[in-house]
Amino acid sequence: MSAETFPDFVRSLPQVDLKIEGLTGWILKGETGVVMFMAADRDVLVPRHHHGTQWGVVLAGSMELTVDGETHTYARGDTHHVPRGVDHEARIHKGWRGVYYFEAGPPGVREES
């Protein structure tokens, strides 16, 4: 599965530098938050981090999301929520696609040390 899962008008949005090789994102900014359309063309690990509230839906593929130490698997059609400031990490599998809403501006990811 390729990034073509998203239509041209989505892929024409500004790309986000996610700093995770294999993970691509396009961003739509609003006054109260941003929507990101994301695609993984290989298995990726998003390291533990936190930021403002996020809500997402898996469009294709699957991922394991660990929120505050509890891990769940999400697949096509599943939604999930991460509260503001809560540590989370994800293991995203090749072919995954998702749409996310992040409150109050771009998700300034802060990795935990």
The residues spanned by each domain of the chain are 3-111
Calculate the alpha carbon distances from 16 to 24, 67, 68 in Å: 7, 23, 26
pLDDT at residue 104, as a whole number: 72
CATH number of the 3-111 domain: 2.60.120.10
pLDDT band at 110 (very low <50, low <70, confident <90, very high): very low
The answer on pLDDT for 3 being more than 60 is no
The pTM assigned to this predicted structure is 0.85
Give me the count of residues in the chain.
113
pLDDT digits (tens, 9 = 90+) for 29-48: 988 899 999 999 999 999 99
Q: Which residue has the higher pLDDT, 14 or 113?
A: 14
Decide if 63 contacts 73 (C-beta within 8 A).
yes
Tell me the per-residue pLDDT of 54-106, one tens digit each, with 9 for 90 and over: 999 999 999 999 999 999 999 999 999 999 999 999 999 999 999 999 987 44
